Chains A and B, each alone.
Chain A
Amino acid sequence: DQQVKQNSPSLSVQEGRISILNCDYTNSMFDYFLWYKKYPAEGPTFLISISSIKDKNEDGRFTVFLNKSAKHLSLHIVPSQPGDSAVYFCAARWISSGSARQLTFGSGTQLTVLP
């Protein structure tokens, strides 16, 4: 049962253009959504997050949008740079028990920014 889905395994974008990565979820109990970025031979690193009570969060070139009614979130990167080429994972946080929080990850989208 995949509760967080990234339906596009790959995306190619020209340098300077906008990259839009999408993520859909099914569980209404998620309270936070996060994007992680992963380079080859490294672990994922946190990029940006958004609370379930907000619809937008911006950090420099990165903006995350949350549409709760559609259970959809997206990550916008503007302008895209070659160094942004990586795998991007969407993750959703939920309360597993007491104060414990778990993350459920999507399968990732490989972003390639072409110079």
Chain B
Amino acid sequence: DSGVTQTPKHLITATGQRVTLRCSPRSGDLSVYWYQQSLDQGLQFLIQYYNGEERAKGNILERFSAQQFPDLHSELNLSSLELGDSALYFCASSVTGGGDEQFFGPGTRLTVL
């Protein structure tokens, strides 16, 4: 158990819908990262937050957005969902976000029908 929690574990929805994925980092970690893993692909970095502020952005679509709240939990919002958005979404956390070890949650499996 990494100490990072993600909810829900599974999510099934339809095209065009909007969903919210939630992540609670390890106690004491200030930085949160979001990754997407599509079938047979590596983890694609989406976005990083540090202490409530966006720190780095990767290949995140404009239909996706994220935020980190004062209690340091984070939410990833996916809207106008397409079939190709079906994937595993991982959240990771680290203490500083400056290259220290990232601890991953178990992921949320999103299926868009």
Contacts and interface: CB of A to CB of B under 8 A. Distances in A.
A31 B12 CA distance: 39
Interface of B: 2, 4, 35, 40-45, 48, 50, 55-56, 58, 90, 92, 96-99, 101-107
Contacts of A108: 42
Contacts of A44: 43, 90, 104
Interface of A: 2, 4, 6, 9, 32, 36, 41-46, 89, 91, 93, 96-97, 99-108
Contacts of A102: 45, 48, 56, 58
Nearest to B55: A100
B102 A46 contact: yes
A46 B99 CA distance: 13
Contacts of B98: 99-101
